[in-house]
Structure 1
Amino acid sequence: MPVTETFRIPKKKSHVPTARQRVRKTLADWGITDELADAVTLLANELVTNAVTHCRVSHSQVKVELTLNSTELVLEVSDPDRDRLPRPHDSTPDEEGGRGLALVAALAANWGCRQEPYAKCVWARFDLEGVQAHGPHVPATL
């Protein structure tokens, strides 16, 4: 049975480090460390930063959800600006930003986005083959 950790942060840049720390702690609690934890934490930082930066809904929150099951880890970041789905962007070397989704595509096994009734969600999936992970409801041996 999958185990899930969900939390919300205010849509403010000053709260992005809080999201990153919560993701890192959850992964450590589940026994996920090393390169996979680094990749998931980095992509959580990118997706939360994108949500905080591009969401046009005032006084809103960004939701972060991690789901662990025996075969994969899923990271989902949602915000209430449902009509603005992210699109990959080809950045020039001089541009300061615009590489986040390319990074997501490079580090995740799969990624995408979806519109929900009152939000949009950007997700990334990570394969757990060969990774020892555990959670309250996930066996330690996969």
Structure 2
Amino acid sequence: METHPALIPPAPETDTQRRRRQPREAPGRSADAALSGNHTTCRLAHRPESVGQARRIVGSLLHRWQVTEEAATSVLLVVSELVTNAVEHAQPPLALHVLRERTGRRVWVGITDGGPSTRKGAWTASCTPEEHGRGLDIVDTLATAHGTRSHEAGATHWARLPAADQVA
């Protein structure tokens, strides 16, 4: 799916930019408390268990942002597909990016990887072609926009989804 260049989110910020922007965590506060803003970036291990970790992180944010259950289900499914693709088809390192867009009540999710892998992931290598390959069709169906932004360190695969607030 092609998108207009203006719809492609900017490249992920560097660690230095993020450290300068983010306040230091107060003593006694959990690391989870740092996820309560309108965006977060988390490093993920390059292994299948990271899919579940990413879902927990994003689920926690969506709950705090009071996103409806229906919208959250779609966002979590897209996150699962993007992280699975990164683990199966890309090189480390992996980073998860989540942004709550106030304009239009949307959520932008992205996974940055180290570029294409030269070999298949364990799951992809263990199954027939009919058993995989539908992930991006799912993303295409659920997302209002999605794409890939290549950069020097690899690529960021992203999707933008509607995320209506819960009715009080």
The interval holding the TM-score normalised by the smaller chain is 0.7 to 0.9
Higher fraction of strand: 1
Distance, in Å, in 2 between the alignment partners of 1:3 and 1:61 is: 23
Max Rg structure: 2
After superposition, residues 4-83 of structure 1 pair within 5 angstroms as 4-55=39-90, 57=91, 60-70=92-102, 71=104, 72-81=106-115
Checking the alignment, whether the CA contact within 8 Å between 1:76 and 1:121 is kept in structure 2 is yes
Asked if 1:96 is matched to 2:131, the reply is: yes
- The offset of 1:82, in angstroms, is 5.8
In the superposition, relative to structure 1, how do residues 34 and 80 fare at CA in structure 2: closer, same or farther (>3 Å)?
same
- The offset of 1:127, in angstroms, is 3.1
- The offset of 1:6, in angstroms, is 1.3
2:160 maps to a residue whose letter is R
Checking the alignment, whether the CA contact within 8 Å between 1:82 and 1:115 is kept in structure 2 is no
Identity of aligned residues (%): 31
For structure 1, the residue ranges without an aligned partner over 5 or more in a row are: 85-93, 134-142
Distance, in Å, in 2 between the alignment partners of 1:110 and 1:16 is: 21
Runs of 4+ in 1 over 4 A off after TM superposition: none
In the superposition, relative to structure 1, how do residues 49 and 17 fare at CA in structure 2: closer, same or farther (>3 Å)?
same
